[in-house]
Structure 1
């Protein structure tokens, strides 16, 4: 379990935080458990969960997570301060280390609920939500936002939002450094087409030196993340770290962090290809045990393996690894042995390549 004040600790220590982004349909508990096998120091996020779902739905199904996932943040969607406060309290009771408010998702479904990126137009509402959540929980309350929406001037919209949520007591801000176009672009296009503006995030930090401000959007590698967060407080990777999850093995060497002050800075290689076979065997065994638990609980091994397909990009045997996880894991009765076979394809090909 992390300190409830970890953003303050990070600022005091001058330590950057690395986080995996909240990704709808991807950032479930099985993915977060897998990510944790590759990095001890990263902060991992849930996918966005609507506050109404927390209040009315199956909370165990929505909020249950493995103890190994910590530090783990719950991202909520909504715009009603009372509902968000109640949902935040439930999330904190479930043991989440942080509650984050989504002010960045541009999907039609989110817009119809008057939350997500459209809240960039309502900074007073966002500040009211943050204040209510802060009053409800002791863990950090944070915001993930865009730099603006549609025809907004980001220099006005972003700075106004931050001024108001800062007054409300927000603990940290994660900024996706693109506008969101609520009309005319799909959620996928909104991740790529609006131009990036890292400069505005740096200017925001310069005006708010005592507020944790992390960068999201367009970061594809750890070296790029380190470079682009000069003067900022953290980096958040989403699809780049999901589709090539081996990236996560280098996090602990580049982002030592007070989440785990008892652990000395990692000295592991930055490239996953340079990690020894014993490392991968530990990952394999952990994921096999996890898959067995998921199956015993009524799930399918594919619920676990679908998040693992991008692990061995660039390795000998990676194609066969992907084939096994994509095909064999979906067959009736498939079990953890599928993971063993997939890892064997890579480890044996790697041994053969080294012997040549």
Structure 2
């Protein structure tokens, strides 16, 4: 889950639930110290923060970008990282099949020990970088490519892309690891949320679908580059599940497996300790294919308390409301 963006934190990072409070306090002190050291007035930071937010159609839960918006964000993220393109031979062109065949047979066993642990990068999953913040772009959330008719759709948590306005400084880097961008940098062209999230941050609607493009790559579709996870609505509430996310201070993802359980009629819970800041929006995957490493998204880390605490993670249940949001996101 992302760091706290309270009024005392001028870094414009996404807000979080319980498990990020201590990290958020430390980050806020670091930001304030940096501001004091450089002599930059707080009001300038607040102005910069405001410029990262766009009202869009908050009442309708939609933001659309113009043709060139995001090019500068992509340039900033590229400049801050090491390299782009599939010439990176250390990055797999598909998930690490041998690792998944051992760790994720059908059905998925619970992790032993039951805790998040480092895992290999996957082409369909990556961090969301936020540009225009002190110290340069950093990743504060996670997203996943899901199948759609146009082949350009991500799913993440709503609190990763909307905090009092739609974030305009996002970039998705699928398969990211160690400063490398093996599948390029992708920026939003449209964000779809449930209006009940934009109205009052209703945890039962903490889901967002994001259409993306790759600047400089014409009409390239992200599914053609990375493949995609499937997505399922109204899944059984208790399923063997793998949760994947990128901690904000690490260069590779972590994962953990356990069965989900109904927390309420509109929320799922998953007991797997060790998911820190940055993992919000990470996919909950079921039915992993040992031959491809891909599975089916049945939730994203968020929802209750914007994701939970250091022991339990939550997700808005992917019921009829989320199915309707997906249909809206995949039509004109």
Q: Same fold (TM over 0.5)?
A: no
Q: Which has the higher strand share?
A: 2
> Which one has the largest radius of gyration?
1
- Higher RCO (C-alpha under 8 Å, 6+ residues apart): 2
Q: Which TM-score band (shorter chain)?
A: under 0.3
Q: Relative to total residues, which structure has the larger helix share, 1 or 2?
A: 1
Q: TM-score, normalised by structure 1?
A: 0.25
